[in-house]
Each structure stands twice: as structure tokens, then as C-alpha cells.
Amino acid sequence: MKHRPPESDSSKGLSGSPPVGEPVFLAVGFLRRAHGLQGEMVMDILTDFPERLVRGKVVYAGEEHIRLTIRSLRSKGKQVLIAFEEAHEPESVAPFRNQYLFVRSDEIPPLPEGEYYHHELLGLNAFTPAGDKLGTLVEILETGANDVYVIREESSQTDLLVPAVREFIIEIRLAERKIIISPPEWL
């Protein structure tokens, strides 16, 4: 079972998870600084699909989501150098320094069967296999080994932390906004 964070973290709350629901824009990169004299910028890649960032692709920069068209993209170690049709000198890219670069969420690729973006899972109602409601999935913690789902019980506001592994996550039903969880015995 594989889960992918939404590509945007500019709208995350204090918890680290994005708000519930389908975001309009997803971050695919973080623009660092100008590079050279041709309007290129150093960018950190934040997407699992960097191959989709190609010449002619429309992207959006900063919180204002300024529309830009990719002119060029080339590798620079663990980062890339990106240039836009709308900017040809260092001064014209200065406003985008330390800003996120976004794509529209309706342009993200579908994931293979059994894989989910985090924004698809947040807000799901969690139930036991017997049908007892455990709460709502309110946050996804990325721990390295596997994600951990934070299930909040509404009346007590207590959190149940459930490792996102097949042993505990029985079924995910996106259409029903439901996740079936077999809570660990030690909880």
C-alpha cells in the first residue's frame, strides 16, 4: 500500500497535513534563486513526476499563482535549472525567489491501483471491520519507514495513531469516503 503526499505544502496547517479535500494547486517545485544572466532559476523538485515538467508546460508561481510557461529545464545536481517564457533576465525572476511552483490539481496523473495522494485520504471516516466508527483521518505523518494515519475520535478529540501498512489498513473506499482499519492490539 503506497501513499503519496500532495505535491503542495504551501497550504499546510501546523500539523503538516494539507487541508481536507481536493486542492486547486499542487506544488511541484520550490524556486530558490536566479542563476546566470538568462533568467534561469535554481529549483528543488517536489514531485514524484518530474518528467511531466517539460518545455511549454503551464505552471503557476507563488501564492498569487502567477501563470508561467516553462521555456527550459535542465539538471543541476539534485536540483534543476528552470527558465520561463515570460522572464529572460535575473531581475524578472526575482519576485519568484523562495516561492513554490505549482500545477493545477486537475492535471496530476492518476496513480496506480492501491496508491493514493494524501489529499484523497484526509477526511475519510475510519471504521473497524465490524462497522464501529473510530473517527476521522485528520493527518498523515511521514515517518520514513511507513506513513502513520492520525484518526481523531470526534467526541473525545483523542487521536489514534495507526501505521499505514496492510496489517492494519484493511480497505480504502474513496467513493464512500471510508477507510476500514483493524487497530493494532497494543492501542
Per-residue pLDDT of the chain (187 residues; tens, 9 = 90+): 444 444 444 444 434 444 555 568 888 999 999 999 999 999 999 888 888 899 999 999 999 999 999 999 999 988 999 999 999 999 999 999 999 999 998 888 888 888 888 888 999 999 999 999 999 999 999 888 899 999 999 888 899 999 999 999 999 999 999 999 998 776 5
Calpha distance 29→184 (Å, rounded): 37
pLDDT score for 14 = 36
pLDDT score for 61 = 96
pLDDT score for 144 = 83
- Considering only CA atoms, which of 25, 21, 32 is closest in space to residue 10? 25
Helices (H), the chain: 90-93, 118-121
Cβ(179)–Cβ(138) below 8 Å: no
Q: What are phi and psi of 174, to 5 degrees?
A: -60, -40
Calpha distance 50→134 (Å, rounded): 37
Cβ(42)–Cβ(33) below 8 Å: yes
Domains contained in the chain, CATH given: 2-107 (2.40.30.60), 123-181 (2.30.30.240)
pLDDT score for 53 = 93
Confirm whether pTM is higher than 0.75: no
